[in-house]
């Protein structure tokens, strides 16, 4: 059975929504709130891309004999490097405490442009390659890596927060009994993170 990469699109939409929340708080003169939201965004995005670069993209390159397919993966990896540079500028903006630098909104806008373009490219051209070459067994290491993140318990409620009807169904990937127990725990942790 093929791997369903719908979660990837859910994550992409959540990243873009969160970046908008960060910018709204910057523009509203709420540096503390902006920093809290940015910390969540930055940590989850760094982890997501590290997971792809470590556990998924190399397998496609290893298994494909098609130059166009491997060129697509190389382009996606190059976009990750561009994102790292844009993230580094924003990470610097949000470091420390007190007023945010004057160029913070411009840095966020630049990051959003790079991120939106990358997400669209990955969904259009990368996901079909992942679906072609990545098995459910391959996904275990990737998923285990993502579960190890400090903020992993916040991911599902974060995806659902402000998301589409499809995004609200993110919890459906969990087995019924696990979902009954974990969903309220995750939601409490997510709310507590922003207090």
d(CA 190, CA 153) in angstroms, rounded, equals: 8
Q: What is the rounded average pLDDT of the residues 124-141? A: 95
Angle (CA) 165-167-170 rounded to 5° is 120
Q: What is the pLDDT of residue 195?
A: 86
Could you report the per-residue pLDDT of 141-161, keeping only the tens digit for each?
A: 999 999 998 899 999 999 999
Residue 139 contacts residue 54 (beta carbons within 8 Å): no
pTM: 0.95
Share of residues in the chain with pLDDT > 90 (%):
92
Q: Six-digit token pair at 192?
A: 């507590």
CA separation for the pair 115, 183 (Å, rounded):
29
Residue 155 has a pLDDT of 97
Q: Please write the tens of the pLDDT for every residue from 55-110.
A: 999 999 999 999 999 999 999 999 999 999 999 999 999 999 999 999 999 999 99
What is the structure's pLDDT at 1?
A: 53
Is the domain covering 6-149 a CATH 1.20.120 domain? Answer: yes
Residue 34 scores a pLDDT above 90: yes
Please give the angle made by the CA atoms of 111, 50 and 133, to the nearest 5 degrees.
Answer: 110
Residue ranges of the chain that CATH labels 1.20.120: 6-149
**Digit-coded pLDDT (tens) for 98-124:** 999 999 999 999 999 999 999 999 999
Separation CA 164–CA 159 (nearest Å) = 9
Instruction: Specify burial of residue 67 (Cβ count, 10 A radius: 0-12, 13-18, 19+).
Output: exposed
């Amino acid at each position: 059975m093929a791997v369903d990469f719908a979660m990837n699109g859910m994550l992409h939409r959540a990243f873009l929504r969160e970046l908008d929340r960060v910018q709204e708080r910057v523009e509203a003169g709420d540096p503390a709130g902006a920093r809290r939201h940015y910390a969540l965004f930055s940590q989850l995005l760094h982890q997501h891309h590290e997971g792809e670069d470590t556990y998924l993209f190399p397998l496609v390159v290893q298994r494909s004999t098609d130059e166009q397919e491997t060129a697509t993966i190389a382009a996606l990896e190059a976009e990750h490097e561009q994102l790292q540079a844009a993230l580094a500028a924003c990470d610097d903006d949000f470091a420390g405490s007190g007023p945010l630098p004057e160029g913070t909104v411009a840095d966020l806008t630049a990051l959003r442009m790079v991120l939106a373009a990358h997400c669209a490219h990955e969904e259009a051209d990368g996901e079909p390659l992942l679906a072609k070459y990545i098995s459910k067994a391959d996904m275990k290491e990737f998923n285990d890596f993502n579960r190890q993140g400090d903020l992993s318990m916040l991911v599902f409620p974060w995806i659902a927060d402000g998301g589409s009807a499809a995004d609200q169904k993110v919890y459906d990937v969990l087995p019924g009994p696990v979902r009954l127990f974990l969903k309220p725990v995750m939601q409490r942790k997510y709310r507590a993170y922003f207090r």
